[in-house]
Amino acid sequence: MLTFLISTSIFLAASGVFKLYFSFLLYGIAPRWNLLAATFLLVFSVYGINKLTDIKEDEINNPERVEYVKKVAKLIKYAVLLSLVLAVILSALTSPWAILVVLFPIIAGALYSIRLLPGYPRLKDITGVKNATIAITWANGTTFLPYLVAGSADPQKVALIYYFFFMKSMVNTILFDVRDIEGDRMSGIQTVPVKLGKERSKRLLLLMNSTFIPWLIMAHAFGYFEHYLPMLVFAVLNGYGYILYFTRKDYKPGKSLDVWVDGEWFYTLALAMLV
C-alpha cells in the first residue's frame, strides 16, 4: 500500500495539503477546504506527469516505482487531466488570482522543458534550475494561496513565510537528487549532486538549512509565529537530521526518504495542532 501511495504521488499530494494547512496557521487564519483540495489535485497531477516522463531515469534510481507506474500509466494519464481541471475549478471559488497560482506549476513546467532559443540548452538541462523551479512552485502555492484568503499581511511576514517554504523545498529536492545520483549520472543529467559529489552536496545542504537560524531570530524579533516557533525549530532540527542520515556513504535508496522527507508535514502539522 505504501509503495502504491508513493508511486502514484498520492502520498506527496496529501503531504502538500498538510504543508498548505501549516501555512494557513502561520498566517493565523482558518484553512479553506477548496484550496486544500485544489492543492491535493494539483500536486497529484504535476507529479503524476513527472512520474510518466522520468521512467528512464527511475528504472535505475527506483525500479520498484517504475513497475507500479507502468502498470497504471493509462489510468494516471486520465487522472492527471481530470485532477488539473478540478484544481482550477476549486481555486476559482476563492479568486481569479488563485487560478494563476494554481496554473503556475504547469506554466513553469512547460517553460522548464521547452528549448526557448535555438542553440541554447533547455532550462531543465542547466544544473540547479530544476531544484529552483520546484522550490519556487511550492513556495508560491503555500505562501500566496493563504495570503489571498487573508486579504492583507505584513510584507515582512509574507517574505519570511515564502523563504521558509522555498528553502525547505530547495533542500528537499536536492536531497532527492543525492539519492538518485547514480541513475542521473548514468543518464547524463547534471544535477547538483552529480556536479558536486555526495560529500560536498551534504555540506551545501547543511549550509542551506543553517540559514533558518537567522530566519528564526528575525521571526522572533518581529513577533511573528510565536505560537508555532517550537514547531519551526523542530522543522529546522528535523532538516539537519534527515540531511545527515540520507547523505551517509552506506545509505541504500528506499522508501524511508519519501516517508521522512516528503512526509514531514504530516507529523509537523500534527505537533503544531497539539500546540
The pLDDT of residue 54 = 55
DSSP 8-class letter at 1: -
Judge whether 99 and 86 are in contact, CB under 8 Å: no
For 17, 49, 58, 76, 169, the CA distances from 159, given in Å and listed in that order, are: 21, 30, 35, 36, 15
What DSSP assignment string belongs to 200-232? HHHHHHHHHHHTHHHHHHHHHHHT-SGGGHHHH
Judge whether 42 and 102 are in contact, CB under 8 Å: yes
Closest CA to 268 of 142, 152, 132: 142
* Joined grid coordinates for residue 120: 541554447
- What per-residue string of b and e applies to 198-223 under the rule 16 or more CB within 10 Å gives b? beebbebbeebbeebeebbeebeeee
Q: How far apart are CA 50 and CA 141, in angstroms?
A: 18
Q: Among all chains, which residue has been given the C-alpha cell 484544481?
A: 87
SS3 track for 109-147: HHHHHCCCCCCCCCHHHCCCHHHHHHHHHHHHHHHHHHH
Q: How far apart are CA 26 and CA 13, in angstroms?
A: 20
The pLDDT of residue 167 = 98
Low-confidence ranges of the chain (pLDDT < 50): 59
Burial environment of residue 107 by CB neighbours within 10 A (0 to 12, 13 to 18, 19 or more): exposed
- Long-range contacts for 119-122 (Cβ within 8 Å, ≥24 apart)? none
For 11, 133, 251, the CA distances from 3, given in Å and listed in that order, are: 9, 26, 19
Domains and CATH numbers, the chain: 2-274 (1.10.600)
Q: How far apart are CA 65 and CA 95, in angstroms?
A: 37
The pLDDT of residue 185 = 82
